[in-house]
Structures are given as C-alpha cells and as structure tokens.
Structure 1
Amino acid sequence: MTKGNILITGASTGIGAACAKKFINEGYAVYGSVRKQEDADRLVEEMGNDFHPLLFDVTDEAAIKKVAAELTTELDGQGLQLLINNAGIAVTGAVELLDIDAFRKQYEVNYFGLIAVTKAFLPLLGAIENCSFESGKIINMSSIASKRTMPFMTPYAGSKAAVDSFTEGLRRELMIYGIDAVTINPGPIRTPIWEKIDVKMDLVGGTIYEPILKRFIKLVDKESKDAIEADVFANRVFKTFQSKKPKVSDVVIKNKLLKYNLLSLISARRIDEFIKKILKI
C-alpha cells in the first residue's frame, strides 16, 4: 500500500528520474511520462513496480487526454497528491538568427505542453465539485533563467518566465479547490539537459555572434561542472511537496547569496556591463 500517487512529466532522465526515485523511496506510487517504450521498460526495471510509465509527448494534447482518462479509471476514485511538470527543452541561439519555429518549438514543450498536462489532470488533483479525495498540489519546474536571462538563452528564459506567470495566476484560481501551485526555479542541476541543449551553432558560423556564443558555451560547461546533483535537488522537491506553505517561487542555486541575492541589489545595467566584459561582447 503506497502513501499516494505522484505524476511527473519528463521522467526518463535527469530531474524527473531523480524525483521519481525519491518519491518511490518515500513510499509513493509514481506515474511518469516518457516518450519511448524502451525508456518505460528501463525505468520499471530500475525503480520497480511502484513506477508506472505513461507514454505520451507533452505536445500531443490528444494523447495526454487519453492517458488522463485511462489513469482516472485505473485510480478508481483516488486522486493525485502531486503533479510535477518537469518536461522541458532548451533552445539556444541569437534571437536575430533563430527562426520563429525555434521559438514555437520551445514554447510548445515548456509552456503549452505544461498547460495541456495541467488541464488534463486537474480533476485528479481535486478540481471537481464534491471531490471525494483530498486536493493535490502542483510543482512547475521553472528556472533561474526566468529571473536572470543570459544572452543566447532568450527562448528558454522566456518560456520559463511564462511558466512563472501561469503558475501565479493558476494558484490564485485554484484556491477555490484548495489546490496549491508553485514553481521551483533551479540554477544548474547535473542532468543530461546540459548535453541536449539545442545550440544552433550552424546559424552563427561566420557571424558576429560566433566567438561570443562559443565563450558562452564554455561558461555553461564550467557552470555545469559545479551543478547541484539531481538527487540533492530531488530532496528539495520532496520538501516543497511536504511543506504546508512552500515558497511560491523557490530559487535553488549553489552560492545563492553571491550568485542571486546580492545580484538582486545590482542594477540591470551594471549586470549588462558585467556580461559584456565576461563574454567580450
């Protein structure tokens, strides 16, 4: 008998997989979205029978609705204690050179996909009249990039800023059902997303941006080596779930005092100058 049911999108690797392991170890049943059957099989083998793979892509609204209906039948009057919207990608490049489709791809996954999943599973979180189970919670995985946007990360940062605003409005609407919704805004976490960043290097070759983007990628690589371990971050996610009144937007980053709190006291123009210097713009 498990303590309850947790749904995590993007559970195949990284933060999603680490959170799945943490919640299973704490006695919960985890329903994790994956896009490939081989990932589903691998995760069940690694995590055991308390991991239940859900095959859908967050950009496929019809598939999401189908899975939500099937899960409602399977849970048979039970609800979800938590939805973690974690699935995401990072499109990187100069705004001037990226085509609109690159921005659309970024928002389809990180923003519209998150909305589609949230809407489909709201009833299982308790967004129904005369609900027979206790209302659940929503944790939307945002990023420190939504608050501190670096050059070449504009599509990603914009999508995460949209997630922040969506979550704030959603939380205030869902108070009527007793459902809480918050964001966690991590800095670098040691996950495969660093290896899968969609850098459009072919677009910048021979342009004024090429040497700057190369220096930026080196900076990202350096930051990734000092990133928070995924299992450490998963512990933070679990504590957020446990908290009766968690922070509505929790920035999680190493050396937070120096890298975030103190920077908040510096003007945006001064930060511009610092970025200009470090990237030799």
Structure 2
Amino acid sequence: MKTVVITGASTGIGAGAARHLAANGWRVFAGVRKQADGEALTQGASGDLRPILLDVTKPDQVEAAAETVAAALGGERLAGLVNNAGIAKMGPLAIQPMEDFRAHFEVNVFGLLAMTQAFVPLLGSDAARTGPPGRIVNITSVGGRLASPFLGAYTATKHAVEAMTDTLRRELVIYGIDAIAIGPGSVKTPIWDKAEQDNTEGPYAASDWAGSLKRFEEVMLSGGRTGLTPEDIAGYIETALSADKPKARYAPVPDKLTNWTIPTRLPKRLLDRIFWSRFGLKKT
C-alpha cells in the first residue's frame, strides 16, 4: 500500500484528495487543525484514512507528524507529500496590514518548506529506507502565474511556490524525488468564503478601492461556487503521484482558453487594461 501525506485536509481540495486517494487504495495521513475536522473527514469515507493534527506553521506538530508517519512506514519510503495547506485574504497591497501579508507566507510558503524539509528523508534522502523514492506535489494556483488585483499576498506566495517546486525538482533529482506543481483555477472550496468573511468588516470598506474590491469579491465567490470540484483536482493529484512520466505542472482550469491560455500569452499592459475595465479600476 502506498502512503501519502496531505496538508490542509480539513476542507476543500485537501479533504477531497484525502478521501479520493484513500478510496483508491492509498494509506492517507490527512493533516487537520482540529480533532472535529478529522472526525468529519472520515465520516462516510472508505479506505485507510488517518487524520493527524497538523498546523504547518507549528514546528512541533510538523515534527510529530513526521515521526508518526515514519513509525507507520517502518523502513519503507513515503510515496507522496501533497502540500495543500493555504490561506487567502483579499485586500489592496497598498493598505493591507503587514500581519495579514506575513500570514500568507507563514502558511503558504514557510509552512510548505517546513513540511518538505521534514519529509524529504522519508521520501528518499535516507538511504537506509527501502522502496522507490516518493514525490512532492505542491498545490499552487492560476495565481501562481497570473497576478490579479486584491490577491497580491496570495499570488505572491503562489509565485514563490511555483519557483520552489521547480528548484526542488532540480535539486532532489539526486535522490530520485520528483516535485510537481498543480495550479487550479476556480475550485468549489471554502477558501473564498473565508476571504469574504474577513473583508465584511475589514479595513477596506471606506477605502478608495471599496467599489472595485466588491466587484472582485463577487467574481471570486461566483467562481468558487461554480468552478471545479475538489474531487476533480484529486484526480490530477493522483496522476501526479502515480503517472510513469508526470508533467512538471498541471493546470486544471475551467474555461481554460479564456481563463488561462489567452491571459498567459497577452502582453502585461493589455492584461492590465482588462483587469482595470473588469473591476472598475480607473484614475479619479
């Protein structure tokens, strides 16, 4: 039985991937932040699904998770680490509180690296372990390649994760460990509902961006309610973990031509004007 560790498995992509992989024969250690989340995750699930308390910003929990997984593996190697935990808070960079900006990096970047460093020995750098080397799958975003207004902190972290994934793949080849990015578009996940709740009574209601931010929220929330399902992304995660020759990056994006292919090829100044027009951003 192949073993995989998934962070941020309380809801959304992480929960969908944990249930999907467990149902398809994987032993899944699913990182959750509360015991109640673990109980909800396993309810109705099939297969070997094991919630573990794991806040990626807490070194003691990261270390404990690595020890738990190592004990379960015996002397074998871990097949996969899926770095999915992440947060998103909307806001104009010019006035977004620094603690909010730092929080994105603590979870989305530093937490991801802490997990990676803790689990690389289990994935393949420990020569005493047996079995094929494992793979790292990092969940990024369309925002890892396309920076939008009002998600500057989030997209900055996802740009960082894209670069880190490429660097890890090029460094960890000495152990046979692969690193793969999955950059979804809109997904039906609570992350954007949480972002809306954060903004309801936030510092931006009276700002110069209030109207544009409201329009942006409506677009993001609509996409989050009509986009791909977490189960759709789970299929890409399983492919990244198990394909004989996986791609370095997967881009599951709804309406891919208009939401990914064209925007990634447009000149940046033209893309600026599209964003300005769509969200009512203009000089007053």
TM-score, length-normalised on structure 1? Answer: 0.95
Tell me how far apart the structure 2 counterparts of residues 49 and 60 of structure 1 sit (CA, whole Å). Answer: 28
1:62 equivalent in structure 2: 60
1:235 equivalent in structure 2: 235
Q: Are positions 1:74 and 2:80 aligned together? A: no
Tell me how far apart the structure 2 counterparts of residues 91 and 49 of structure 1 sit (CA, whole Å). Answer: 34
2:208 equivalent in structure 1: 208
SS at match of 1:182: strand
Tell me how far apart the structure 2 counterparts of residues 264 and 116 of structure 1 sit (CA, whole Å). Answer: 30
Tell me how far apart the structure 2 counterparts of residues 71 and 241 of structure 1 sit (CA, whole Å). Answer: 18
Tell me how far apart the structure 1 counterparts of residues 72 and 218 of structure 2 sit (CA, whole Å). Answer: 47
Deviation digits for residues 34-53 of structure 1 (CA, Å, limit 9, x no counterpart) = 11011122223332561111
Matched AA of 2:250: D
Structure 1: give runs of 5+ residues left out of the alignment: none
Give the root-mean-square deviation of aligned CA atoms.
1.5
SS at match of 1:238: helix
Written as runs of structure 1 = structure 2, the 5 A alignment for 1:218-229 is 218-229=218-229
Using the TM superposition, give the Cα deviation of residue 126 of structure 1 relative to its aligned residue in structure 2, in angstroms.
1.1
1:253 equivalent in structure 2: 253
TM-score, length-normalised on structure 2? Answer: 0.94
Deviation digits for residues 141-178 of structure 1 (CA, Å, limit 9, x no counterpart) = 00100111110000000001111111111111100000
Matched AA of 1:29: R
1:182 is matched with which residue: 167, 180, 183? 180
Q: Are positions 1:144 and 2:142 aligned together? A: yes
2:158 equivalent in structure 1: 160
The count of aligned residue pairs is: 279
Moved runs in structure 1, 4+ residues, more than 6 A? none
Tell me how far apart the structure 1 counterparts of residues 258 and 89 of structure 2 sit (CA, whole Å). Answer: 27
Tell me how far apart the structure 1 counterparts of residues 263 and 107 of structure 2 sit (CA, whole Å). Answer: 30
Written as runs of structure 1 = structure 2, the 5 A alignment for 1:120-131 is 120-131=118-129
Written as runs of structure 1 = structure 2, the 5 A alignment for 1:27-42 is 27-42=25-40
SS at match of 1:264: coil
SS at match of 1:62: helix
Using the TM superposition, give the Cα deviation of residue 140 of structure 1 relative to its aligned residue in structure 2, in angstroms.
0.3
SS at match of 2:181: strand
Written as runs of structure 1 = structure 2, the 5 A alignment for 1:75-154 is 75-154=73-152
Tell me how far apart the structure 1 counterparts of residues 101 and 167 of structure 2 sit (CA, whole Å). Answer: 23
Using the TM superposition, give the Cα deviation of residue 180 of structure 1 relative to its aligned residue in structure 2, in angstroms.
0.3
Tell me how far apart the structure 1 counterparts of residues 146 and 243 of structure 2 sit (CA, whole Å). Answer: 26
Matched AA of 1:51: L
Which has the larger share of strand? 1
Matched AA of 1:270: L
Written as runs of structure 1 = structure 2, the 5 A alignment for 1:46-57 is 46-48=44-46, 50-57=48-55
Deviation digits for residues 183-232 of structure 1 (CA, Å, limit 9, x no counterpart) = 10001111111211264452112221111101111111222233011112
Deviation digits for residues 97-116 of structure 1 (CA, Å, limit 9, x no counterpart) = 11211111110000000011
Using the TM superposition, give the Cα deviation of residue 130 of structure 1 relative to its aligned residue in structure 2, in angstroms.
4.5
Matched AA of 1:191: T
Deviation digits for residues 74-103 of structure 1 (CA, Å, limit 9, x no counterpart) = 321122111100011102101111121111
Tell me how far apart the structure 1 counterparts of residues 152 and 33 of structure 2 sit (CA, whole Å). Answer: 26
Tell me how far apart the structure 2 counterparts of residues 49 and 222 of structure 1 sit (CA, whole Å). Answer: 33
Q: Percent same amino acid among aligned pairs? A: 34
1:280 equivalent in structure 2: 280
Between stretches 51-60 and 226-235, larger displacement belongs to 226-235
Matched AA of 1:8: I
Tell me how far apart the structure 2 counterparts of residues 230 and 61 of structure 1 sit (CA, whole Å). Answer: 28
